[in-house]
Structure 1
């Protein structure tokens, strides 16, 4: 009986051999149902061994696996190369990579019967597409020159950064490029960072291409629907695939274009399992398939910006710029800084902001007050003894959610009821400290009793259906003042929204995380860009105690390039990415001593692997949030100015890490290109 080699989703850096009846080389890429331990798992065939080949164990000891020859074709060679790249680069077991890239429905040992439903094609078509601005036309032409628009010409790998101010019409550029890809018989993959950006973009794409198979792939889909959509893409029935980060692994036989919208967004980074960056994987996939890729943003990540401008590193991307708003009647809103040191705030709101809100209400225009902190208040506190509502499982506070009378941890999910008195001293006069979106909503409702106030955050929009209902209210003119978090900061076009007020942004100016200024500037540029996107002029008011800060100066000038240049210079001086490459080893255990002991041993092993090499190994330290879900967490940073040298080191270090004896409840993982510190 033939022998097959199988990748299984287990935390082991090896594959497994099985007997399989009638296996042929054509079965490579098929799924199998294989016995493993006391159970059964789904795996992927990576090789069919010759009859005289030597298996890992004697043939008579091999178990038999069942090849699944269903309606899913064998996974193609380019998909294998993508999985192998991720396994090598992100130091993840190949089985974990391959199986996590498949829909849940194809990983089950007893999947439900699948219905053969083709991709949706029916939709109401739009008025002709708008005329392109000169900047849009230049951007489209530059990408088409890579071979995308020529049916008789092979495309080539060509990475572009489409840097366009908010409202400049980046989506229209994407649609023109998708149109070109479809016209030449190719498929297009559009990646977005979050689910809440998917519905409106999906509707716009569907109406633009009403006769074309379009599928979406994201976590809000049912298991069966996601499996159907994935199959439609794999079989070529879907010509446009729109999805979140996991969609980057979807096998597409005719892939000709990849677009990554809001490429700077941290949601493209997977934070558990295989910790990959979907944006970076997309760039590799475009290179491997020799096709163009467009990374779009109004506030590009500094790594991407450096790749496109050549600031201190070789220029790898072509920079395309949209400097004007697509609507000729619209302009970027002026930014006014409100110095809160000089006036007494009214429940956290300045007189200038209240007056601006009042003026919009009188004119029947919409306003948005931005506070990137949900809940009623960040903490409940006792003024008598100093007690505060801390999470029992994390090094974090329990956030007060007054609407459902709960104290809730936003990190581990632990929650409690609100105590009637201080648990420490019995004082009944306990108070909320600080402000969240719920408290801001309440404050504004008291100040403007006739206004229709709508709160938009993770609590009010837990599902796609709730999110779509909120968007319908906003577009239908059923809200006067929006109170929102970063959910409203990007990708939305509200024609009657003319005022954006920013509250509570200063904390990020002095955060210990060296990426915090980049994130803050991006948030403020994005949320400010919601104002004045149509004929009505917009305005942005930022409440701050530090109006002289350089970040706010760049914000007032709408000068991303100046901000990026200053930040990149700071990073170059400090040796931070993109001028170095990093990996983080993290360990968690019930006791911090165990985590740090493991990391110290790991560092010694790393020193041995490095020898006189260029990799710098830092000392183990507790993570910023040292305790999460009853586990103590530590980390060890490694850094190098050469990516190949770091990769070579990690490849030698990982087996040494596996060989370290550690307490049974200790868990560790290695993350390449970490975003969180």
Structure 2
């Protein structure tokens, strides 16, 4: 009796055994079609066991073998196994998340022949004679084909339009035989030398160190905005390509991808593929196939591109390594930067981590000797020094987050024909109650930590000791009734700006306003062309974009980070400030950056503005060490949600009891307590934080917990987030 052990995309920490018919020959890491309940599902072969714990009469045969070869090379296979174990995720879910959607659905992993559409002579005649003037969409589609043939299913036009055009004889289909051509077979130089920049001394020394070292090394390129980090990436990539190897470049947000691709295409005459969430499933599969077969030289993508199968990967680059969007927040919650370092070690290749504001975790790894530190302090090009201003909001008139003082500054810059950029700090936000007149903050007397404002329950709650109190009617210090909560929305700010500056165009760039495909690129183009004068953005606009006419940048609601429940909020604010400041004065124009706050004397702000990010980071690391917080300890966060608050809380109480029963010395358990945003989409949210000074001991506790997990109600959903970045 031959057996095959299969992983399925189910939230269970187990595999499933099936009988293997003699005529079938699956491979480890390949897909098979198997019966599962009343349906058939795609599975991935993980083993060929000699025997099964399931009785032979209960075993069913697999239905079909889908792959003749492994979909995961050995280093990638090892990486996903390691990651599933580290992040406490079922291996089946991790393996399937690493594959394009089409492969999860059972489509062929081999690149097949492709069907294209082209215009016929009759179609060309129809365009000349304007025969489709009453069918505008058909006319547009035919015009697009007149430029060049297009792949079927990959055009912006509906299939019904192409069907009508084929019926009229204006369009025909043809097959293009797929021929795999390695990227190295190009007939032109790898690099466009005229687009290459001459390195300054600092850059040249950094590049020399990277290229001299052989094999695995983590290089933290720590450079101020405009210091030329990208040029070091490009010249390191050039040397990798000259060896015939491929390169993976990870960027944090989809907003960075278009301009990154443009810069790479201008520099290199090689096949470059892009992987991000705005691609359709067929496009993602094509990019995966091309990397696996060696047709693409460079793959640029967001976090999930890490799991792309390469034929010969030689270098990994992570731009903006500090960015929180490298951490997956749905499904299994891996961190792409941290996994990329593990992957580079498995492959024995270098990895570059770049940032103007390195994460405290990476700076600590430099201290420990795990990372090599390359510092670029010289600002390249004609960039000018910035003027910094702090606006004290106490006693200022404020309208939806905009003070009169900032509005007056905006007017000055706009009248000079320049652009203004306003940022909202939204990450790690938990609302805090404070007095607009004197700056008093509602604080827990037991913990000396700010209370979190819970709007739905109309209470102030301490997330350290769980004490709570009613929302006060007046300030506890000066008696003023002008109490406010930190927090601000982009839409309200947009409305205020349109009323206050009716002669200028206001453009808002956030996740909501750029949800439709192509809107982000359109907004960015309008900004570059000067069609928009006032820009409102969140984190997605803070990074990487070059706006030469922006001379004033305002950071509006910084106070929510100064008193956040999340200990990382201050680090994020410092990073955002430096990134934001990098948007102003990037050309020969003088730039100004403005911070609005009720607390201008806060130690963080004073340290950041006077001594810069590097000194702030060292102080923050020292404080984290004193408090026993990451990176000097490890954390895991359990989250539950349910329509019934008591059920969500009760399950976490069971988890806490299970962990306490393990009797692990030094294991700290905080909670359960309501999440700072305690109700979302009709569901109540609770959380439980677990911490230990030893990463290994914490993971031992989590593994033991999985083996003794309590039963839960089907009305409760829960997740486990290892190394959580967001505690709100």
Matched, 1:637 2:671: no
**Larger mean Cα displacement after TM superposition, 535-544 or 19-28:** 19-28
Within 5 Å, give how 1:124-203 maps onto structure 2. Answer: 127-147=194-214, 156-203=215-262
Distance 1:614 1:253, change over 3 A: farther
Matched, 1:230 2:230: no
Structure 1 contact 30–67 (Cα < 8 Å) conserved: no
Q: 1:536 and 1:433 mapped to 2: Cα distance?
A: 33
Structure 1 contact 72–231 (Cα < 8 Å) conserved: no
Within 5 Å, give how 1:31-430 maps onto structure 2. Answer: 31-49=31-49, 53-69=50-66, 74-109=71-106, 115=114, 116=178, 127-147=194-214, 156-210=215-269, 212-308=270-366, 310=367, 314-327=368-381, 329-341=382-394, 343-345=396-398, 348-372=401-425
Structure 1 contact 456–485 (Cα < 8 Å) conserved: yes
Output one character per residue of 1:456-506: Cα deviation in whole Å (capped at 9) or x when no partner.
222322134000011111112222222222221111011222211222222
1:664 alignment partner in structure 2: 714
Match of 2:496 among 410, 421, 443: 443
SS of 2:299 mapped into structure 1: strand
Matched, 1:675 2:694: no
SS of 2:48 mapped into structure 1: strand
SS of 1:85 mapped into structure 2: helix
Q: 2:573 and 2:540 mapped to 1: Cα distance?
A: 14
Output one character per residue of 1:373-413: Cα deviation in whole Å (capped at 9) or x when no partner.
69xxx9xxxxxxxxxxxxxxx9768xxxxxxxxxxxxxxxx
Alignment coverage as a number of residue pairs: 605
Matched, 1:508 2:591: no
Structure 1 contact 144–177 (Cα < 8 Å) conserved: yes
Which protein has the larger Cα radius of gyration, Structure 1 or Structure 2?
Answer: 2
SS of 1:620 mapped into structure 2: strand
Q: 1:676 and 1:445 mapped to 2: Cα distance?
A: 33
Q: 2:312 and 2:507 mapped to 1: Cα distance?
A: 44
Distance 1:373 1:222, change over 3 A: same
Q: 1:656 and 1:395 mapped to 2: Cα distance?
A: 34
Q: 1:65 and 1:594 mapped to 2: Cα distance?
A: 40
SS of 2:708 mapped into structure 1: helix
Q: 1:72 and 1:242 mapped to 2: Cα distance?
A: 26
SS of 1:618 mapped into structure 2: strand
SS of 2:230 mapped into structure 1: helix
Q: 1:356 and 1:253 mapped to 2: Cα distance?
A: 54
Structure 1 contact 461–467 (Cα < 8 Å) conserved: yes
Q: 1:176 and 1:478 mapped to 2: Cα distance?
A: 35
1:151 alignment partner in structure 2: none
SS of 2:85 mapped into structure 1: helix
SS of 2:213 mapped into structure 1: helix
Structure 1 contact 332–529 (Cα < 8 Å) conserved: no
Output one character per residue of 1:68-97: Cα deviation in whole Å (capped at 9) or x when no partner.
445875422222101110111011111111
1:387 alignment partner in structure 2: none
Q: 1:241 and 1:32 mapped to 2: Cα distance?
A: 28
Q: 1:125 and 1:447 mapped to 2: Cα distance?
A: 48
Structure 1 contact 2–23 (Cα < 8 Å) conserved: no
Structure 1 contact 395–627 (Cα < 8 Å) conserved: no
Output one character per residue of 1:194-243: Cα deviation in whole Å (capped at 9) or x when no partner.
11111111121122112x12111111100000011011112221121111
Q: 2:57 and 2:271 mapped to 1: Cα distance?
A: 49
Q: 1:272 and 1:349 mapped to 2: Cα distance?
A: 34
Q: 1:354 and 1:602 mapped to 2: Cα distance?
A: 51
Please, what TM-score do these two structures have when normalized by structure 1? 0.83
SS of 1:330 mapped into structure 2: coil
SS of 1:96 mapped into structure 2: helix
Report the alpha carbon displacement of residue 172 of structure 1 after superposing the two structures with TM. Answer: 1.4
Matched, 1:4 2:4: yes
Report the alpha carbon displacement of residue 111 of structure 1 after superposing the two structures with TM. Answer: 7.1
Structure 2 contact 402–493 (Cα < 8 Å) conserved: no
Structure 1 contact 8–15 (Cα < 8 Å) conserved: yes
**Larger mean Cα displacement after TM superposition, 433-442 or 162-171:** 433-442
Distance 1:448 1:126, change over 3 A: farther
Aligned-residue CA RMSD (Å): 2.9
Match of 1:476 among 497, 517, 529: 529
SS of 1:141 mapped into structure 2: helix
Structure 2 contact 640–687 (Cα < 8 Å) conserved: yes
Distance 1:13 1:633, change over 3 A: same
Structure 2 contact 191–238 (Cα < 8 Å) conserved: no
SS of 1:320 mapped into structure 2: strand
Structure 2 contact 27–69 (Cα < 8 Å) conserved: no
Within 5 Å, give how 1:498-537 maps onto structure 2. Answer: 498-537=551-590
Output one character per residue of 1:571-615: Cα deviation in whole Å (capped at 9) or x when no partner.
112111011011122233332222222222222222232x35342
1:620 alignment partner in structure 2: 672
Q: 1:548 and 1:518 mapped to 2: Cα distance?
A: 17
Matched, 1:585 2:638: yes
Report the alpha carbon displacement of residue 105 of structure 1 after superposing the two structures with TM. Answer: 0.6
Report the alpha carbon displacement of residue 23 of structure 1 after superposing the two structures with TM. Answer: 7.1
SS of 1:559 mapped into structure 2: helix
Q: 1:317 and 1:240 mapped to 2: Cα distance?
A: 24
Structure 1 contact 584–636 (Cα < 8 Å) conserved: yes
Structure 2 contact 634–692 (Cα < 8 Å) conserved: yes
Q: 2:252 and 2:235 mapped to 1: Cα distance?
A: 21
